[in-house]
Structure 1
Amino acid sequence: MVSRVIPVEPADLVIIGGTGDLARRKILPALFRRFCAGQFGTESRVIGVSRTEMDGKEYRKLTAEAIAEFSEHEGCDMGRLDDFLEMLHYVTLDAKGTTGWKALAKLVKSERIKVFYFSVGPGLFGDLAERLHKYGMADEQCRIVVEKPFGRDLKSAKELNRVLAQHFDETQIYRIDHYLGKETVQNLMAVRFGNMLFEPLWNSQYVDHIQITVAEEVGVGTRGGYYDRSGAMRDMVQNHMMQLLCLIAMEPPAKFDPHAVRDEKLKVIRALDPVKPDNIVRGQYEGNGKRPGYRNQVENRDSTTETFVAIKAHVSNWRWAGTPFYLRTGKRLKERASEIAVVFKDAPHSIFDEDAGRHRNILTIKLQPNEGIELGVTIKEPGPGGMRLVDVPLDMTFAEVLGPDDADFPDAYERLIMDVIRGNQTLFMRGDEVEAAWAWTDPVIEVWRDSRELPIAYATGSSGPDDALMLMHRDGRRWREIKA
C-alpha cells in the first residue's frame, strides 16, 4: 500500500520568527519533507521573517543547517534541498515598529493564499495582527497560525481572542496543537466512527474507565523560564490532554466537518464537572545525583510549580455518567510514552472458576514513541492443565502493519501546515473551545495559588508521586504501567 499525497495549491508561507527554535526544529524541516513528498512545488514560497539582520543567502544557509540537524526521517531526497532553498526569501522585520513591513507587503502575492505563522510569543500577536491589516495583507486569502499558550488564564485568552477578532474572522485563525496532528489521534476518530464494533460499546454501560497518560523522560531543560510560569496544568492539561479527552468522549458529529467536530468537542468541555481537591495530585521532580531536580533548573529555588499532575475527571452527560477519566502527565518519569487506554468492564457473569483469573478488554491508542492501536482480548492459555485464561494483544503498530513505505508518516507539523493551506480547521482549536478549557482549569490553579501547598516531591525516573497511585487504588483500579 502506498500513501496518496494530494498536492495543495501554491501559497506564500510567512514564518514570523523564522530564525527561532520552533522554525528551525519543526517548521522548516516539515516544509522540506512535504516538498520532497511532492505536496507542494517551487510555485510556492517560504518567507522567513524576524528582527535578525541577515539576507536571503544567510537565511538559506540557516535553513540548510536546520534541515540537516533536525530532519530525523528517512525518505527525503537531499538532492532536492537546493530546489527547496531556492523557494526561500527573508525579510528583516520589527513586529512592534515599521521596519520591514512595506517590504513584506510588496513581496507576498495578493492573489494567492497567504499563511502567516506566528512563531513568536503571544505578547506579539496583537501587534502582528494590527500590522498585517494596516499594510493590506489581512485579506480574504490570509490565514494566521498561532502557537500555544493561548493565554495563561480565561481572562487573557478572552483578550487574545478579542484582539485577533478585530482583524481576522474565526475561519482565518488556526490555533495549532501538534498533538492533534498525530496519525494515531486522527485514527482514533476512524476507529470510533468507522467501525460498528466499537461505537455501540463506547459508553458508561460498557466502559469501566479511561486513562490518558502523557509521560516524559526529560526535565524542563532550557525551558525553565517559561515552564516555571506555566507548570504542567497550563503547559499540558489545558490544551494537549483536554483535546485528547474531547476526542475520546465526544458524540459522533453529523459529518466530518470542522464546525461539526469542534461543536462536539466543545460540548464535552462544558460537560466536565469541576475538579474536587481530593481528585487531583500535583508533584515536582527531585534530583537523583546524576540529574538535577526541578528547583535546580529554574531561577526560583523555592518554586512551587508542578511538573506532574494526575486528575480524576467526570463528564456529566448521558454517555459517560459514572465513568471516570483519569489523566496524568509529568516530566522526568521512567519512560517517554503517551497513550489512551479505554478499559472495558468485566463480563457480567464469569463461567470460569477463580483460577482463571480476572481479565478485561483494553483498547490502547499509542501516541508515542511508537504510534499504533492495540486491543487486548482474553483467550485460553495453550497447553494442558485446565481452562486458564490469558490476555493477548491484537496489535496494529503502524510500522509493522503498513510496511516501511507507509509507516514513514508525515509528522504533526507537516500535516497541520498543509491543512492550513487547504483551509481545513478540523484539527485546530476554536476560540470558544479555548475559553471553555480555561474556564475548567482556572479554578484548580486558583486553589493551588491560594492554598500555597507545596507539590509532592517524586523521584526522577519514577512513575510520579505515590498519591497519584492512590487516586486509582481507592477506586479499586490501577494505572497502567508506563512503558514505551
Structure 2
Amino acid sequence: MKLPRNFKGPSLSLVRQNPLPVLGRGGPRWGSPALFGLYRNGFLPENTHIIGYARTKMSHDDYIDRVTAYIKVNDEEKLEQFKKITTYHAGQYDQDESWQSLEKAISDSESERGLDSGKKNRVFYMALPPSVFIPVAQGLKKNVYGKEGVNRLVVEKPFGMDTESSNHLARELGALFSENEVYRIDHYLGKEMVKNIMNLRFANVFFGHIWDRKYIDNVQITFKEPFGTEGRGGYFDDFGIIRDVMQNHLLQVLTLIAMERPISTDAEAIRDEKVKVLKCIPPIELKNALLGQYVGADGKPGYLEDDTLKNKQSLTPTFAALVAFIQNERWEGVPFIMKAGKALNESKVEIRIQFRKVAGNLFAGSARNELVMRIQPKEAVYMKFNNKQPGLSYQTIQTDLDLSYHDRYTDLSIPDAYESLILDVLRNDHSNFVRDDELEAAWKIFTPLLHKIDGKDKQVDVKSYAYGSRGPQELEAFVKSYGYDRPNVKYDWPRQSMSHHANNKL
C-alpha cells in the first residue's frame, strides 16, 4: 500500500513523559529504532521532520545522543542523515505558552521545508500516562492543531483503568479529535504473526471448515516473561498483569481468532467484526480466574521485595489465567484461556488451538491435533498431528508440520511492530488500531473482575509461585478443568526426536 499523495512532509511530534525513545518494559520498543527503520527503507514520506517534546530540558546534542543510543545499524551515512531530520523541544503539558512555542517550532520547520498549504500534515504521538492525556490533547488541539493539512493523534495504552475511566477519556478525546484522526495503538497488532492470523484463517479452505466448536475443543493464548518487575514495581502495582497485557494485547489476539469473516479487508469492516465478537463475551467471572504473584527463588527477588513497591502487602497479580466464553453459534461452549505472567520459566507468546479427539479413534492414546502460532520469539506456525513411527513399529507418535520463519524466510527481515504501525498511521490505515466502541466492549469484559481484585475482595485468592517457574502449581489442574489435554509424551519443538521412543517395543 502506498502513502497518500497528499501526505508528504509531515511534522511528527513525539509528546513524551520521558524524552528517551524508550517505552515500557524491556527497553526500547519503538522510538528512534522504528522511525529510523522506516527512514532507512524509504517508507517515511519525503521531507518529514521529527520533533521530540517533553518537560526535560536538554541540549540538541544530548537529545541526539539519546535518540541514537538504541539504533543498531552499520549504515552510518543513513544514520547521519536521520539525525538531521529530528530536533527536540522542551515544554510543559499544561501551559499554553509551551504549546505555542512548539507551534512556532513546527511552523518554522514547515516554512524551512517549503511545504505548500494543504500539505502541512502533522502526526502527534502521545506516549504518556493516562493522567495527562486530556491536558496534552487539549493543549495540542488549542495551540498546535494544523489548519493547512491532515492531523493524526496516536495514543499509547493504557486507555484508562476500567470502563468508566476509559469512557471518560474517550469522551474527552472525542470532543477534541474526530475518531478518524485518533489511532489507539496496541503494538501487538503490529506483530508479524498477529497480522498473519487473518491470512491463515481466511485464505486456507481447510482451516475455514474446522474453525468452530464442532472441531475445536479449547484455545489458549499465552504470554510469558522470564523477568519480574525489577525496579518497575511502583508503576506495575497500579495496573497488574490483567491491565498490562490481557485486557489489550491478548484480547486483541482473541478477537482475530474468533471473529467472523469480514466483508472486505477494509479497516472498518475488520473492526466491525471484532466488536461483534467482544459483545458476545460476558464479563469474566472470578470462578474462571486463577491469580498469582511471584516470590523469590534461586537468588531472584520476589515481587514484594521490589524496592520501588510502596505497598509491601500488595495483592496485585503478576500472573493470571482467565477463561472467556463467546456466546454465539460458532463458539458456544469453547473456553478461550488467556494466560499471562512475569518471572516465569521462559519468554514466549503463542496461540495454541487444540482440536477435539478423533471420534471412534482406532489408535487409543494418540494425542489431539493442535495448531500453534508462535508470536515471539522466532515466529512460527506448526500443526501437531499423529503419525506412524517410522520403521517396523506400528506405534502412533506425535510430530509436526512446521513453518519456522527463521528457517524458511532467511532472506526476509521482519519489521518491528512499532515500525509497522507507524507506517499504518501514515497510510491512514486503521485496521490494526483500536476503535472507541471496541475499547468500551473490551473493558466491559474485565471491569467487574478488576473491581473485585482492586477492592481486595475476600473471595480473591492470589496464589504464590516461584520466580522462574511455569506459574502457580494449580495452573495445570486449572487448564485441564477446561478441557485442555496435555500430552503425556515429551515433545521437543520444532523437530521430532526419535530418541524419545527408543524404549518402545514392537
TM-score by length of 1: 0.92
1:74-153 alignment, distance < 5 Å: 77-108=75-106, 109=110, 111-137=119-145, 139=147, 141-153=150-162
Provide the identity percentage.
Answer: 35
The 8 Å contact of residues 225 and 348 in structure 2, kept in 1 or not, is answered as yes
Q: Give per-residue Cα distances to partners, 1:211-263, cap 9 Å, x unaligned.
A: 11001111012221111011111111111111011111111111111111111
SS in 2 for 1:15: strand
Partner amino acid for 1:473? K
SS in 2 for 1:202: coil
1:298-377 alignment, distance < 5 Å: 298-352=309-363, 354=364, 357-377=365-385
Cα deviation, residue 78, structure 1 = 2.9
Partner of 2:210: 201
Cα deviation, residue 379, structure 1 = 1.6
Distance 1:262 1:412 in 2: 19
Cα deviation, residue 483, structure 1 = 8.3
Distance 1:66 1:474 in 2: 45
The 8 Å contact of residues 286 and 458 in structure 1, kept in 2 or not, is answered as yes
Partner of 2:10: 11
1:167-178 alignment, distance < 5 Å: 167-178=176-187
Distance 2:77 2:368 in 1: 51
Partner of 2:262: 253
Q: Would the alpha carbon gap of residues 479 and 181 (structure 1) be closer, same or farther in structure 2, given more than 3 Å must change?
A: farther
Partner of 1:22: 22
Q: Give per-residue Cα distances to partners, 1:57-111, cap 9 Å, x unaligned.
A: 33223212232xxx4xx6x523311000000122112111134322322333462
Match of 2:419 among 414, 417, 429: 414
1:50-61 alignment, distance < 5 Å: 50-61=54-65
Distance 1:205 1:216 in 2: 33
Match status 1:280 vs 2:289: yes
Cα deviation, residue 468, structure 1 = 2.1
Distance 1:269 1:221 in 2: 34
The 8 Å contact of residues 280 and 309 in structure 1, kept in 2 or not, is answered as yes
Cα deviation, residue 6, structure 1 = 7.5
Match of 1:398 among 405, 419, 425: 405
Partner amino acid for 1:186? K
The 8 Å contact of residues 5 and 39 in structure 1, kept in 2 or not, is answered as no
Partner amino acid for 2:457? S
SS in 1 for 2:219: strand
Partner of 2:448: 443
Q: Give per-residue Cα distances to partners, 1:324-374, cap 9 Å, x unaligned.
A: 11111111111111100111112222233x3xx322221101011111111
Match status 1:236 vs 2:234: no
Cα deviation, residue 472, structure 1 = 2.0
Partner of 2:387: 379
Cα deviation, residue 321, structure 1 = 0.8
Q: Give per-residue Cα distances to partners, 1:7-42, cap 9 Å, x unaligned.
A: 984322111116135268221111111111121266
Distance 2:42 2:20 in 1: 26
Q: Please state which structure has a larger fraction of its residues in helix.
A: 1
Q: Would the alpha carbon gap of residues 49 and 482 (structure 1) be closer, same or farther in structure 2, given more than 3 Å must change?
A: farther
Distance 2:444 2:60 in 1: 44
Cα deviation, residue 153, structure 1 = 0.9
Partner amino acid for 1:341? R
Partner of 1:221: 230
SS in 1 for 2:275: helix
SS in 1 for 2:205: coil
TM-align CA RMSD: 2.2
Match of 2:429 among 416, 424, 427: 424
Partner amino acid for 2:88? Y
Cα deviation, residue 377, structure 1 = 2.3
Partner amino acid for 1:350? N
Unaligned runs of 5+ in 2: 111-117, 495-506
Unaligned runs of 5+ in 1: none
SS in 2 for 1:266: helix
TM-score by length of 2: 0.88
Distance 1:156 1:312 in 2: 24
